[in-house]
Structure 1
Amino acid sequence: MSSQTFLAALTGSFSTPCADNPTVAMIEAAYRHHDMNARYINCDVKADGLADAIRGAVAMGWAGFNCSIPHKIAVLAHLDTLAESAAIIGAVNCVVIRDGKLTGENTDGKGFLDSLSGVTDPKGKDFCLLGAGGAARAIAVELALAGARRLTIVNRDAARGRDIAALINDRTAAEAMFLPWTERFAIPRDVDVLINATSVGLGDAQAMPDIDPDSLRHGMIVADVIPNPPRTALLRAAEARGCTTLDGLGMLVNQGVISVRLWFGQDVDATIMARQLQDIFGVARA
């Protein structure tokens, strides 16, 4: 069987994948561990070359590819079908190629949902999401489809926050509302799970979202989508107040597991990928 290659359509070039791109490193580690005849590589695809890149992937018999900003929406014009959540979200980060047909998936929210399942069932829970970007949108949709009762979207840009709330109310059975992100925002008392879906804390262990730390209640679940550093300032503050915490490593690992499953129909060992990320980010293994 010939090797299957996967395209990661990124805006920047990476000369040493394992050192420069954690996603490449963790998926390649899984391929090696399972002795899979596959490779996961980075390709620098500019906006005006997206259509050619996709045609090339089909022509070369690729099993699929991931795509990142700025291609997550532009890629929609080149797909044959969309998975349910991807259609609601309106963005795709994973494409599966079967018999020349392209199906768009979105693994952002699914990866988070799989990680969350390790600490709680979202069904019937009240969530508060900080941020209204692509990650927040995908997570909100997957939580709603999984049976979340209510989602509160908190964002400084009111239009974007209201847009996600309206999407949830219009396209799912969950309830959603928008709250403006004011200085030292106090997390509503009825919230079961708080999620930081912003980039605050990425690469900065001291950066803290502008919330009132004292509104983090004992027993609340506090999750952060930031994978690096895994133990963000928000999670440390939450731990100090007796909250259950969830870091961004699980979300990143699960996205990889889901992507490989979509491409190959095979489950890979998430532990292998998690260890690879821990080594990259300098996290002590348990």
Structure 2
Amino acid sequence: MNFLPTLTGSLSQPAADNPTVAIMEAAYAHHGLHYRYINMDVPPELLADAVRGAKAQGYVGFNCSLPHKVAIIEHLDGLAESARIIGAVNCAVKRNGRWIGENTDGKGFLHSLTPVVDPTRKHVVILGAGGAARAIAVELALAGATRVTIANRARERGQELADLVNGKTDAKASFIPWEGNLPLPADADVVVNATSIGLAPDWQARVPVQADSFPAHAVVADVIPNPPRTLFLGEAEARGCRILDGLGMLVNQAATNFAFWTGVEPDKDVMRRVLEQVFTA
């Protein structure tokens, strides 16, 4: 008897070296699953055709990257709660014959954070107001964070995210303008750099916060996976903070996708080892 592979994949534009391919393929092999993860270039004008093709070819799910995260919604049958609030989808899952949009960016961060600290009743400070910040703010608010402070240079975008959290979750959110070296709130329990500052090859770029204002009791995280140890995390650790690198978010995001598609909880250590090899090669 011949078995066709069950497919998952990524609808991306433009295509880049995709570390998710490496870690998903490694996890499928490790668990003996007859799945494949395939990256495909999809220009915006062909997104509808690509989704129809994925459905016709028996995909059980797929990821989508920018600029498709909002446009994909009209091609799906429904949205999970966090994806609905965030207004963006990066993971499509076939459930009971219906295609449901999930946003696993924030879930990946939440799952990397919770072994270190429970966000329930915590004050979270998020630097930035882009897609990653939006997903993390919503997911942590849904997970029980009581306060969310958004710091951003562009006032309109930062205030819009604070208003979203206030309007769609039980958390209380506020916006603070990010001008110069930002002093971090002394009562922050979790501080997250959700910007791209410090991403390779510009790894020497410094996130403009007051280095002496990191609360020593706080958990400080960076969404940047490459390099795993950023200058931002180094400054926080020097102040006595516990730190979380961006590899954890990326691994947990991929692991969440994996579990949605296969029903199997993957070995995250296998995925992280492959990811470390990708970023140090």
TM over 0.5: yes
**Matched residues in 1 for 2:240 and 2:94: separation?**
46
Deviation of 1:59 after TM superposition, in Å, equals: 0.8
Render the CA deviation track for 1:11-70: whole Å, top value 9, x for unaligned.
1235xxxxx321111111101111110110110000000000000111111101000000
Q: What are the residue-to-residue correspondences of 1:7-156 with 2, within 5 Å?
A: 7-13=9-15, 20-98=17-95, 100-156=97-153
- TM-score, L = length of structure 2: 0.96
- Of 262, 266, 269 in structure 2, the residue corresponding to residue 268 of structure 1 is 266
Return the offset for 1:97.
2.0
Give 1:17's aligned residue. none
How many residue pairs align between the two structures?
278
Q: Secondary structure at the match of 2:39?
A: strand
CA contact (8 A) 1:58 1:97 kept: no
State how far apart, in whole Å, the 1-side matches of 2:95 and 2:215 are.
48
Unaligned runs of 5+ in 1: 15-19
Runs of 4+ off more than 4 Å: none
- The CA distance in 1 between the partners of 2:270 and 2:231, in whole Å, is 26
Cα distance in 1 between the residues matched to 2:96 and 2:167: 34
Question: SS at the partner of 2:173?
Answer: strand
- Other structure's SS at 1:153 match: strand
Q: Give 1:115-264 correspondences, 5 Å limit.
A: 115-203=112-200, 204-264=202-262
Identity of aligned residues (%): 56
How many Å separate the matches in 2 of 1:104 and 1:186?
Answer: 37
Structure-2 separation of matches of 1:2 and 1:266:
19
Aligned equivalents of 2:259, 2:216: Cα separation in 1: 37
Equivalent residue letter for 1:84 = E
User: How far apart, CA to CA, are the structure 1 residues paired with 2:94 and 2:146?
Assistant: 35
Contact 2:120 2:145 in 1 (8 A): yes
1:152 alignment partner, SS class = strand
Structure 2: gaps of 5 or more residues: none
2:7 pairs with 1:5: yes
2:197 is aligned with what amino acid?
Answer: V
Q: CA offset at residue 99 of structure 1?
A: 5.3
Cα distance between partner residues in 1 of 2:15 and 2:69: 18
Amino acid at match of 1:58: K
Is the contact between residue 58 and residue 100 of structure 1 (CA under 8 Å) also seen in structure 2? no
Question: CA offsets, 1:136-189, max 9 Å, x none?
Answer: 000000000000010000001111111110011111100000000010010011
- The letter of the residue matching 2:233 is L
Aligned residues: CA RMSD: 1.2
Which residue identity does 2:19 align to in structure 1? Answer: P
